[in-house]
Amino acid sequence: MAELATSLRRGTLEFCVLAMVEHEHRYGTEIVRRFGEEPNLAASEGTIYPLLSRLRRVGWLDSKWAESPAGPPRRYYALTTDGRTALEHFRTEWVSFRQTVDRLVGTGEAA
């Protein structure tokens, strides 16, 4: 059961990071800050930066550097084609997962 919980948490974090990058929250510091504001994810800087690196290694994110007028260049992230495909897969699976949970607990909200 612990392995399933770890897998679901990792999938949730991956989905959230990809969705944030898609919606223009691309800088690593911005992603860490936004995760820190969400208590349900309980993600810290120590969790997010390794996740960003892993998503780059699997080819879902590309990292680039942007000039900053107020300081040193900042790293930002962009979805790759594979990253967009993965994000769409996560969205589809999430809907399916929610429908299954709704059926199992009898909320009647599942289609």
Instruction: Check pLDDT > 50 for residue 4.
Output: no
* Average pLDDT taken over every residue of the chain: 76
Segment 83-89 shows an average pLDDT of 89
Q: Helix, strand or coil for residue 98?
A: helix
Q: Please report the pLDDT score of residue 81 as a whole number.
A: 93
- Distance between alpha carbon 111 and the CA centroid of its chain, in Å? 26
From the candidate CATH numbers 3.10.420.10, 1.10.10.10, 2.60.40.1180, 3.30.365.10, the one assigned to the domain spanning 4-106: 1.10.10.10
Segment 74-103 shows an average pLDDT of 83
- Statement: the pTM of the whole predicted model exceeds 0.85: no
Q: Which tokens belong to 72?
A: 């040193």
Q: Please report the pLDDT score of residue 61 as a whole number.
A: 92
Q: Which tokens belong to 4?
A: 């399933």
Q: Please report the pLDDT score of residue 1 as a whole number.
A: 42
Q: Smallest Cα–Cα separation from 86: which of 28, 22, 25?
A: 22
